Amino acid sequence: MSAAQETLERQDQLQGIGCSRKRKEDPRFIQGRGLYVDDVKLPGMLFGALVRSPFAHARVVSINKEKALALPGVHAVVTAEDLKPLGLHWMPTLAGDTQAVLADEKVCFQQQEVAMVVADDRYIAADGAELVEVEYEALPALVDPHKAMDADAPIIREDLVGKDEAGQGKRTHDNHIFTWDVGDKDGTHRAFDNAEVTVREEILNPRVHPSPLETCGCVASFDKVKGDLTVYITSQAPHIVRTVVTLLSGIPESKVRIISPDIGGGFGNKVGIYPGYVAAIVASIVLGRPVKWIENRIDNLSTTAFARDYHGVGELAADKDGRIKALRFYALADHGAFNAHAQPTKWPAGLFSICTGSYDIPVAYARVDGVYTNKAPGGVAYRCSFRVTEAVYLIERMIDVLAQKLDIDKAEIRRRNFIKAEQFPYQSALGWEYDSGNYLPALEKVLEAVDYEGLRREQAEKRARGELMGIGICTFTEIVGAGPSKACDVLGVGMFDSCEIRVHPTGSAIARMGTITQGQGHQTTYAQIIASELGLSSDDIQIEEGDTDTAPYGLGTYGSRSTPVGGAATAMAARSIRAKAQKIAAHLLEVSPEDIEWDVDRFQVKGNPEAAKTMKEVAWAAYNNVPEGMEMGLESVNYYDPPNFTYPFGIYVCVVDIDRHTGETTIRRFYALDDCGTRINPMIIDGQIHGGLNEAFAVAMGQLISFDEDGNLQGNTLMDYFIPTFVETPHWETDYTVTPSPHHPLGAKGVAESPHVGGIPCFSNAIVDAFAHKGVTHLDMPHTAYKLWKTIRQLSLDT
Amino acid sequence: MAKTQVSFNVNGQDVDVLVEPRELLIHVLREQLRLTGSHIGCETSHCGACTVDINGQSVKSCTLLAVQAQGARVITVEGLAAGGELHPVQQAFMDEHGLQCGFCTPGMLVRGYRLLQENPNPSEEEIRMGMAGNLCRCTGYQNIVKSIQAAAAAMNADAGNQAE
Amino acid sequence: MKVTLNKVFPLDGSVEDAWQILKDIEAVAGCMPGAEITDTIDEHNYKGNVKVKIGPMNVAFHGDITVQDIDAGERQIHLIAKGQDSKGSSSASMDLVARVRESESSASELAGDAGVTVNGKLANFGGRMMTQVSDQILGQFADNFSSKLATSTASGESDEPVAKPEVKQINGLKFAWDALVGWIKSFFSRKA
């Protein structure tokens, strides 16, 4: 075997970075041995059930607990009155606002939590909840965000009346939360005034919900003897939960243990702290027994973090050749009754300012106004990368609008506007430094793969026959990996992340991170990183996350930040171990460390590769034979504060055929090319792409959380809320290019949200493209068969 | 409510449980028998995370009262591996990356197992139709289809080998 | 959630006989399926109950009925009914203007304009059935009204005590089915 072959074989054996190795977490899941929160059963455990408001806006006149308390098996009925002496009836949100834990004198959204009944089992708790008598006095509800700031609008947050700010800057009305803007306002207005061409479109991102298959819940267990609190919780950010619980309860952080075990999907739905958790924790502390609270699907769809509800106006100014000269975006954000927006503190509109997209736009201005309405709180969720879904939807729709106005091909207009490879790192007009990108070759690769020219020819033929065929293109740039601590913090804690690695004497290792997987395969991918860095097989590297007693402090997993931040911390911790190991190897080989070089899994003497020590041999020596003055052991912890975000990108093409008699859409083809820099496990990446695209398909084609004019939810069960099954879900084709991140230790960027961010506008663009020859420039989502059928009827396309 | 005794066979073992008439089978399996592999994802019978196999049929155990399981032969995901060896459908899911968060997986496996008993050589369309009662948010379904196809191939090869 | 209904029902009796029933609030309440007057406060204010079953939901509303106006010249009544269910989880109100008048195609007709507003759980889970169920309820009301009219006409004495109809529950599911059947039938029976 040649040296090169031998090296490759040693590399393969590690199953490190780049290997599509099978997942290490699978064995327990396929045998039904996962440990999800609802699987936890502790001795003496009680069950909590919430009493919820049937009205969107009402005064709570009285709550009568008598009948509930009289039911055998009911131990407590907790209301705001019970929480007041503890100061816990309201709690701080991630967005600088406060939120009622249990309704305090009024309810502000339908299904808002009013009381928690704690009982011996879930059946008695449910019976008890039915027996709690609540008297309501209905108030007029505010449902349309456009009316939130009318002079005669009902006031929702009486607790904020007279306060001129609610955590995010100045307010101008009692239902106003914030106004945030970015960019060169005057320069942008001037550019529009002087432009050869302008386009404008009103663009809606309807309210939707991530609906992970596992709903939210917790088991709170307060040990009266030891005075410590353990909470098993469906959380994407266990350390933040621990810090908040300490701040709220006064129990020191050293006596609070938060455990996020296996989590059945997060998608941003499991970032915030929900009233159910707080009520369960209080009940456990008061009763001295574990209390389990698990919400049902209706609760989940009705009250936990929804996504979007951005009412936008997009404008582009361009020259006659379609070169964009300026961008002006405005959005009205419906945040619901409390601002529980999951965001880094200084970003009330998340990372919306990425809305200049993949294009070299010289000047831009964006502004977002947030308002309260009588709906559930939230806004940031559902694989959105902190409002990047809204931003990318706006720019990708608008460039198509511009293309149609100027009759320029939709791929060509993108070519003309792309940021060029030599412009990276690129300073966007709205303040971001894109680390790397190479859009043009990726676009050409995709267009060739789908035979774009052929598709356009086919479309022309079909149009001549009156058939509806659409081609959607989306060329997006994502921004993930929150984030540099000077810009990003959550409740004051900088958004670094961490990794601690310990190598055992016999050469296997354990590592713990501050992130927490919810299906992304961290137990495998982190092991692969360490395998490549330390020359140990990924089979021998145990990865643990989610237990705040053992994991180093981290900010959790959302916004595709695990690989960019956690993965970087992992690489840095591993390199620190390797640096120490090199010194030990030199000591064993009796040379100086400068004479040593690293080769896949061993240290060898430069010029004399026969003289080598494997990492395994060094690990043994680390515990009994280290150089003079060196401490024993082989471990490291790294807290990584990223210097920048990372900017993965993608080129997606979608082909649709719309039945002009029924409005039914067939997704004929979906081709997704993603560039996330260095690829750790291609199989896992593909899985993430498939999943994100499926969720994009759901959002674009059928999901909607809607309300009637009184704030009553319409369709908050799976009878109505569209979760695609095997049957509707189209086939996905994936492809890739690799443009590493220059600032990331591994060159890796993160990818899990890209398919959702890029997929939604791709589907939408395809649908609108199907009607473009009839002058349709935009259609709002969801693109249900009924809505498309109405458009077809309006345009008389079914005759 | 007064409790009543129900006896059935789960994964080869006879069990007796005391249940209220209104208790759902999924709760009895998970909380009394501690077979927590089957999961709860909704309350409207849509998601299929609770799917078990009863007397040779796929059944959503959230929509069955425990008393209705009297005398039944029940298989849950914990019963798929026989004698410590994984069932081909379980192996296939691992080989083809047919799971991510794992929450829908037990339901998928138990349904996939029965689908392949009903139809040992299903087409992609038949797989998609046959499993339409099981929802997944993570995988986009494509790799689950591949997993079922791989399991079918493995099982047919085995059957072929045995026949020889 | 608000539903507006405008309906006209043919009647078999004279306008005057019909008016005698319409202005008698207790008699009118008696025609509403599932409804009864429980208390008469004065001639303009009553308390009443209505039981409704829509799919899985069983709601028993209790509330107030206020007679806003009785116009003998126009033969028109204006009623407002407001109620909550016994658990406090749904509320409903109805603003009804009903009149009897001459008709070209029958002896007389009953015309009604109703705005029905439902809030809370019923609107949440029963929202999409509202129009059809309200339609059916009004249809049933008209049938009962017609029967009452026929009875009073036949007996010749409109103030003879009429046996109080049994307060049955409105079965929303049955109504929805009837509504569906009616809707399908309507495709085959369009008048020219």
Residue C175 confidence (pLDDT):
58
Looking at chain A, the domain(s) classified CATH 3.30.365.10 span 3-34+497-640, 306-482+644-794
| Domain spans, chain C | 2-188
pLDDT tens digits along A366-386: 999 999 999 999 999 999 999
Q: How confident is the model at residue C182 (pLDDT cuts 50, 70, 90)?
A: low
Looking at chain A, the domain(s) classified CATH 3.90.1170.50 span 37-139+215-263+270-303
Chain B residues in contact with A36 by the CB 8 A cut-off are: 36, 39, 103
Residue A75: which of A331, A290, A233, A385 has the closest Cα? A290
| Alpha carbon of C47: minimum distance to chain A alpha carbons (Å) | 19
Binary contact (C89, A54; C-beta < 8 A): yes
Residue linked to tokens 């072929």: B160
Chain C residues in contact with A137 by the CB 8 A cut-off are: none
Which residues partner with A646 through β-bridges? A480
Binary contact (A110, C127; C-beta < 8 A): no
pLDDT tens digits along A307-333: 999 999 999 999 999 999 999 999 999
Q: How confident is the model at residue C164 (pLDDT cuts 50, 70, 90)?
A: very low
Report if residue B148 sits inside a domain.
yes
In A73-96, which positions are buried (b, 16+ CB within 10 angstroms) versus exposed (e)? ebbbbbbbebbeeeebbbbbbbbb
The whole-angstrom separation of Cα A76 and Cα A96 is: 31
A712 touches chain C (CB under 8 A): yes
Same domain for B17 and B48?
yes
Of A476 and C184, more confident: A476
Helix (H) or strand (E) holding A650: strand A649-658
Same domain for B135 and B107?
yes
Q: How confident is the model at residue C154 (pLDDT cuts 50, 70, 90)?
A: low
Q: What topology is assigned to C2-188 in CATH?
A: Alpha-D-Glucose-1,6-Bisphosphate; Chain A, domain 4 (3.30.530)
Q: How confident is the model at residue C171 (pLDDT cuts 50, 70, 90)?
A: low
Which residues partner with A513 through β-bridges? A499, A545
Contact between A257 and A241 (Cβ < 8 Å): no
Chains in contact with A via at least 3 Cβ–Cβ pairs below 8 Å: B, C
When scoring A61, A67, A712, A721 by the number of chain C Cβ atoms within 10 A, the one with the most, hence best to mutate, is: A712
Same domain for B130 and B147?
yes
Q: Which of B23, B36, B86 sits opposite A39 (nearest CB)?
A: B36
Q: Encoding tokens for residue A774? A: 């009839």
The whole-angstrom separation of Cα A323 and Cα A420 is: 14
Its sign, for the CA torsion B11, B13, B14, B17, is negative
Report if residue B102 sits inside a domain.
yes
Helix (H) or strand (E) holding A413: helix A410-417
The whole-angstrom separation of Cα B75 and Cα B54 is: 6
CATH of domain A3-34+497-640: 3.30.365.10
Residues in CB range of A248: below 8 A, 6 or more apart: A88, A91, A278
* pLDDT > 50? residue A537: yes
* pLDDT > 60? residue A200: yes
Residues in chain C: 192
Residue A483 confidence (pLDDT):
94
Report if residue B35 sits inside a domain.
yes
Residue A215: which of B58, C121, B34, B44 has the closest Cα? B44
Residues in CB range of A168: below 8 A, 6 or more apart: A95, A96, A97, A177, A178, A180, A339, A348, A370
Chain A residues in contact with C88 by the CB 8 A cut-off are: 54, 133-136
Q: How confident is the model at residue C166 (pLDDT cuts 50, 70, 90)?
A: very low
Looking at every residue in chain C, the average pLDDT score rounds to 80
DSSP C99: E
Give the pLDDT mean for A576-586. Answer: 98
The whole-angstrom separation of Cα A626 and Cα A637 is: 20
pLDDT tens digits along A728-756: 999 999 999 999 999 999 999 999 999 99
Contact between A125 and A49 (Cβ < 8 Å): yes
Q: How confident is the model at residue C56 (pLDDT cuts 50, 70, 90)?
A: low
Which of 32-61 (B) contact A at CB < 8 A?
34-44, 46-47, 49
Contact pairs from chain A to chain C, CB under 8 Å: 40
Amino acid at A223: D
Q: What is the CATH number of the domain that holds B104?
A: 1.10.150.120
Contact between B89 and B80 (Cβ < 8 Å): yes
Residue C141 confidence (pLDDT):
84
C91 touches chain A (CB under 8 A): yes
Q: Encoding tokens for residue A697? A: 């398909």
Residue A515: which of A565, A473, A460 has the closest Cα? A565
Question: Which of A72-76, A164-168, B79-83, C60-64 shows the lowest mean pLDDT across its residues?
Answer: A164-168
Report if residue B36 sits inside a domain.
yes
Residues in CB range of C109: below 8 A, 6 or more apart: C8, C9, C10, C11, C100, C101, C102, C103
DSSP assignments along B21-75, one per residue = TT-BHHHIIIIIS--TTS----SSS-S-TTEEEETTEEEEGGGSBGGGGTT-EEE
Contact between A211 and A413 (Cβ < 8 Å): no
Q: What is the CATH number of the domain that holds B11?
A: 3.10.20.30
Residue A261: which of A590, A97, A41, A453 has the closest Cα? A41
Q: Encoding tokens for residue B20? A: 């209220």
The whole-angstrom separation of Cα A107 and Cα A41 is: 33
* pLDDT > 90? residue B132: yes
* pLDDT > 80? residue A26: yes
B145 touches chain A (CB under 8 A): yes
Q: Which of A130, A135, A713 sits opposite C124 (nearest CB)?
A: A713
Binary contact (C127, A712; C-beta < 8 A): yes
Residues in CB range of A268: below 8 A, 6 or more apart: A210, A236, A305, A307, A342, A380, A381, A382, A383, A384, A558
The whole-angstrom separation of Cα B54 and Cα B60 is: 10
Same domain for B63 and B41?
yes
Binary contact (C120, A55; C-beta < 8 A): yes
Contact pairs from chain A to chain B, CB under 8 Å: 178
SS3 A292: strand
When scoring A127, A374, A708, A716 by the number of chain C Cβ atoms within 10 A, the one with the most, hence best to mutate, is: A708
* Phi and psi angles of residue A762, each rounded to the nearest 5 degrees, phi first: -65, -45
Same domain for B50 and B73?
yes
Same domain for B9 and B73?
yes
Q: How confident is the model at residue C106 (pLDDT cuts 50, 70, 90)?
A: confident
Report if residue B96 sits inside a domain.
yes
In words, the CATH class of domain A37-139+215-263+270-303 is alpha beta
Residue B70 confidence (pLDDT):
98
The whole-angstrom separation of Cα C115 and Cα C3 is: 6
Residues in CB range of A299: below 8 A, 6 or more apart: A50, A52, A111, A215, A276
Q: Encoding tokens for residue A68? A: 């509930």
B158 touches chain A (CB under 8 A): no
In A638-654, which positions are buried (b, 16+ CB within 10 angstroms) versus exposed (e)? bbbbbebbbbbbbbbbb
The whole-angstrom separation of Cα B67 and Cα B21 is: 6
Binary contact (A213, B103; C-beta < 8 A): yes
A134 touches chain C (CB under 8 A): yes
Strand ranges for A122-259 from DSSP E: 133-138, 176-183, 197-205, 217-223, 228-233, 256-259
Q: How confident is the model at residue C158 (pLDDT cuts 50, 70, 90)?
A: very low
* pLDDT > 70? residue C6: yes
| Alpha carbon of B164: minimum distance to chain A alpha carbons (Å) | 31
Neighbours of A428 (CB within 10 A): 22
Chain A residues in contact with C120 by the CB 8 A cut-off are: 54-55, 110, 138, 712
Alpha helices (H) along A115-174: 122-131
- The domain containing residue B16 runs over which residues? 4-79
Give the pLDDT mean for C179-192. Answer: 60
User: The sheet that has A509-513: what strands, in order across it?
Assistant: A541-545, A509-513, A497-503, A635-640
Q: Which residues of A are catalytic?
A: 236, 383-384, 753
Binary contact (A714, C119; C-beta < 8 A): no
C103 touches chain A (CB under 8 A): no
The whole-angstrom separation of Cα C7 and Cα A530 is: 75
Same domain for B31 and B95?
no
Which residues partner with C90 through β-bridges? C120
Binary contact (A695, B137; C-beta < 8 A): yes
| Alpha carbon of A134: minimum distance to chain C alpha carbons (Å) | 7
Binary contact (C119, A138; C-beta < 8 A): yes
Residue C139 confidence (pLDDT):
82
Q: How confident is the model at residue C192 (pLDDT cuts 50, 70, 90)?
A: very low
Helix (H) or strand (E) holding C115: strand C108-120
Residue linked to tokens 């809505």: A787
Chain A residues in contact with C89 by the CB 8 A cut-off are: 54
Amino acid at B152: A
Domain boundary among B79, B105, B140: B79
Same domain for B71 and B103?
no
Binary contact (C128, A714; C-beta < 8 A): yes
CATH 3.30.530.50 fits A306-482+644-794, yes or no: no
Same domain for B53 and B20?
yes
Residue C153 confidence (pLDDT):
67
Same domain for B43 and B73?
yes
The whole-angstrom separation of Cα C44 and Cα C68 is: 7
When scoring C1, C3, C62, C119 by the number of chain A Cβ atoms within 10 A, the one with the most, hence best to mutate, is: C119
Of A504 and C56, more confident: A504
Nearest residue of C to residue A136, measured between CA atoms: C88
Domain boundary among B52, B79, B106: B79
Give the pLDDT mean for A409-421. Answer: 98
Q: How confident is the model at residue C71 (pLDDT cuts 50, 70, 90)?
A: very high
Contact between A503 and A635 (Cβ < 8 Å): yes
Domain boundary among B32, B62, B79: B79
The whole-angstrom separation of Cα A265 and Cα A286 is: 31
Report if residue B164 sits inside a domain.
no
Radius of gyration of chain C (CA): 17
Q: How confident is the model at residue C163 (pLDDT cuts 50, 70, 90)?
A: very low
The whole-angstrom separation of Cα A265 and Cα A304 is: 14
The total domain count for chain B is: 2
User: The sheet that has A665-675: what strands, in order across it?
Assistant: A468-477, A649-658, A665-675, A733-736
C to B contact (≥3 Cβ pairs closer than 8 Å): no
SS3 A369: strand
Binary contact (C124, A714; C-beta < 8 A): yes
Helix (H) or strand (E) holding B159: helix B142-163
